[in-house]
Each structure stands twice: as C-alpha cells, then as structure tokens.
Amino acid sequence: MISACPTPTSPTSTRGDTRSAVGAPRRRLGLLAAAAVLAAPLTAFVAPAAADPVPGGPWNCGEAVPLSGLLSHEELQQRLTSLAERRDALDLDVVGESLDGRPLYSAVVGDGPRTLAILTQQHGDEPMGTEAAVAFLREISADTPQAAALREAVTVVVVPRINPDGFERYTDEDFRDGIDPRRNSADLDLNRLWGPDADPDPATAPEVAAVEAVLAEHQPDLVVDYHHQVTYRTDEGDMATMSVLWSTHPDVDPAVAADGRRAAAVVGAALERDGHATVTRYPESDTSTTARNGLGLDGYPALLIEQRGQQEAGQKNRGALVREALTSMQGITEALADGSFDATDPAAADALPARGERVDGCE
Ligand SMILES: [Zn+2]
C-alpha cells in the first residue's frame, strides 16, 4: 500500500475549497445567509507523526510544519514598500483596509496593453499565492531587458493577501479560537461575495469592495485567483501540483469563459515545461458568487488556481509551492506578452485531466 501524507488535523485544513465549491445554492447569497454558515473548528498547526512519505513528493509527512516562515502582514508591507522604493517600475498603493484595520495593497507593474490581475489569499489560511506574488513582483519589476519587454506588453496588477485578518488568525497562536481563518473577521467567506448575484456590504466585507475598485480601475483581461486545496492525486495516481478552473457558470459570456479556458491551458503547459508538475481540472460548480464565476459574470475572464498542500505550507514545502505558483504567473504573463495566449485553443483546457482522489492520510 502506498502511504500518504498526514491528513490535516482539522476540518478547516482538510476541506480546502472542495466542500464550499460544490452544492452552494444558485441564488442570491445574502450576507446574513453567508454569516449564518457555521464556522468550522480552527486549523491545527502541527501535523501528526506518521508513516513514510509518498514517492514523488516533496510531501511533508510526520513533520511539524511551523508557519513562521511565511511573511507576516507587516513583513509583506515592508517587502512591497521596499520594492516600490527601489523599483521605478512598481507602483504600490493602499487600496483599502480589512475589517480589523490591516492595509490592503495593490502593486502595479508595467503599462502594457494587456492587463493581468493576480488576487491572492482571500482565504486567510491559503498563503502561498501571496509568497509567489511577491517573488513575481520582484522579478517583473527588475531592471533587465526581459522584464522591461514584459512590462511593455503587459500591465500586471497584484492584490496580495486579500484576507489579512484571517491570515493573522491562521498564524498566531493567540487567535486559534474564534472565527475560521479561512473567513474574514465578520465570519464571511469572501469567495461567496463576487459578481452580480452577490451584494457585499462594505461594512462587513471591505476586502471585496477594495478589490472590486481595483478591478474596475484596471479592467483586466484576465483575473487569476490563487487558493490552496489539500493534496490530490491525478486520475493516474500521481501527485497533482494544482487544479485549475475557469468560469463555468452558464450565464458567463462564452468569449469571457473562453479566455479563462485559454489561461487554464497556458498554466497547464507552463507547469508541464517546468518538469514533473501536473495540473488537473478542478471540479465544476455553478455557484455564481465565487470569484471564478462572479467575476466572469461581471465580464472579467477569470481562472481559479488551487495549489496543492494547504496542510503542508511549512518550511519544507515552501520553496516548491512558491515555485509552482510563480511558474503559473510567469507562464500567463509571457503568453499575454508574446501573443500565444490569444493563439491558444480554449479546447486545450479540456485536455487537462480531472482531479483524482484526495490524499487523506498516512496509512
Ligand atoms: Zn480558497
């Protein structure tokens, strides 16, 4: 029997985005209804001792996974501010603040005609997209001919760590009781507050309002939204690096959905070029208020990215997880810049294998 990684020890970290992405009602989701959803117990921070790791890792079985290596929100601010001071190509703005008063940022690099928006960590306990976005900003704002060429072709708009209050609860022992770190401080799942069917109240979801204003200003050609699921296999049994999905709601303009499918195909190809990485297709749902569907209904092509290994976001896997997300950001930007994005057949996304079984525990 193949032994597998430890199951995360709480419902928060075991469910990733799976449970919430299926079965939600196709109706207007009011804030009261959203707030009425019971919060699950909080994430445990230390994986139990367990059996041998699965081949094809790096999976972190049997190790404590300290989260102290992640950028605190203060460190994120320092990194972004430092970059903006050193790099003329990067414009940093405070675009709002979270319910608990933590600043929300946009970082804009380039002035090209194609605009890519990158959103990270609207679920506070899904951190690696933020780490990767900082690395990508450093790379694309650099004083190199390659970066300059990308900036002439593409405008990159990053809104990192949309839910800093949830992240604080995720990483601070003092916050282990209370609201699920996935949700904001009004106990709302921000990823049910997007698009024309949602009606987020800025008083309880200022994070969504801030992002919507950034998108309205920049009118991106594509929005990529970074999350974590737990670790899954491909349908052939290998470890899946990430799962992706475009807007699948039936009312999304087909041309808008097609660009999301192009993005999925481009990410699949970029990760494949990177080596042994495998991208799978995330299960579909018609929930209209996720970013993937809600932003699509608003007319923005959108792609959901669900990285593997939410429960393994500690030191040992940090490098691999950041590299995988960074590769997806690079691949999409380069494809927008060189025209290959538009030349991509949306049907290529259909060739991505379906997500396989969940890895649910060392055995
Ligand atoms: Zn998520």
Which residues, at least 6 apart from 249, have a Cβ–Cβ distance to it below 8 Å? 286, 287, 288, 293, 296, 297
Q: What is the CA radius of gyration of the chain?
A: 19
pLDDT at position 67 is: 76
Q: Where are the domains of the chain?
A: 11-358
- DSSP-derived letter for residue 213 is H
Q: Does residue 34 carry a pLDDT above 60?
A: no
Q: Are 157 and 91 a contacting pair, CB within 8 Å?
A: no
Would you mind telling me the total number of residues written for the chain in this entry?
Answer: 363
Distance of CA 227 from the midpoint of ligand 1 (Å): 4
Mean pLDDT of 61-73: 68
pLDDT at position 360 is: 65
The CATH H-level (homologous superfamily) assignment of domain 11-358 is: Zn peptidases (3.40.630.10)
Q: Are 138 and 177 a contacting pair, CB within 8 Å?
A: no
Q: Does residue 219 carry a pLDDT above 80?
A: yes
pLDDT at position 238 is: 81
Q: Summarize pLDDT for 306-320 with one digit per residue, the tens.
A: 998 766 655 667 888
pLDDT at position 356 is: 86
Q: Summarize pLDDT for 68-124 with one digit per residue, the tens.
A: 789 999 999 999 999 999 999 999 999 999 999 999 999 999 999 999 999 999 999
- 113, burial (CB in 10 Å: exposed 0-12, middle 13-18, buried 19+): exposed
Q: Summarize pLDDT for 148-190 with one digit per residue, the tens.
A: 999 999 999 999 999 999 999 988 877 766 899 999 999 999 9
Distance of CA 43 from the midpoint of ligand 1 (Å): 14
Distance of CA 123 from the midpoint of ligand 1 (Å): 5
Q: Summarize pLDDT for 235-244 with one digit per residue, the tens.
A: 888 888 899 9
pLDDT at position 176 is: 65
DSSP assignment of 320-337: HHHHHHHHHHHHHHHHHH
Residue type, 42: L
Distance of CA 262 from the midpoint of ligand 1 (Å): 22
Distance of CA 318 from the midpoint of ligand 1 (Å): 17
Mean pLDDT of 134-144: 98
Q: Does residue 6 carry a pLDDT above 80?
A: no
Nearest alpha carbon to residue 276 among 228, 349, 333, 327: 327
Q: Please tell me which residue in 126, 207, 212, 306 is annotated as part of the active site.
A: 306
Which helix or strand (DSSP H or E) is residue 154 part of? strand 154-159
Strand partners, 154: 114
Distance of CA 133 from the midpoint of ligand 1 (Å): 16
Distance of CA 20 from the midpoint of ligand 1 (Å): 9
Nearest alpha carbon to residue 225 among 277, 169, 301: 301
Q: Summarize pLDDT for 242-278 with one digit per residue, the tens.
A: 999 999 999 999 999 999 999 999 999 999 998 878 8
Distance of CA 225 from the midpoint of ligand 1 (Å): 9
pLDDT at position 315 is: 61
3-state secondary structure of 185: coil
pLDDT at position 361 is: 52
The residue ranking higher by pLDDT, 230 or 149, is 149
Which helix or strand (DSSP H or E) is residue 74 part of? helix 73-86
Which residues, at least 6 apart from 57, have a Cβ–Cβ distance to it below 8 Å? 239
Q: Are 228 and 313 a contacting pair, CB within 8 Å?
A: yes
Distance of CA 143 from the midpoint of ligand 1 (Å): 34
Q: Summarize pLDDT for 182-215 with one digit per residue, the tens.
A: 999 999 999 999 999 998 999 999 999 999 999 9
For residue 29, what pLDDT band results from cuts at 50, 70 and 90?
very low
pLDDT at position 57 is: 44
Q: Does residue 65 carry a pLDDT above 80?
A: no
Distance of CA 183 from the midpoint of ligand 1 (Å): 10
Distance of CA 302 from the midpoint of ligand 1 (Å): 15
Distance of CA 113 from the midpoint of ligand 1 (Å): 30
The Cα–Cα gap between 309 and 16 comes to: 9
Concerning whether 126 is annotated as a catalytic residue, the answer is no
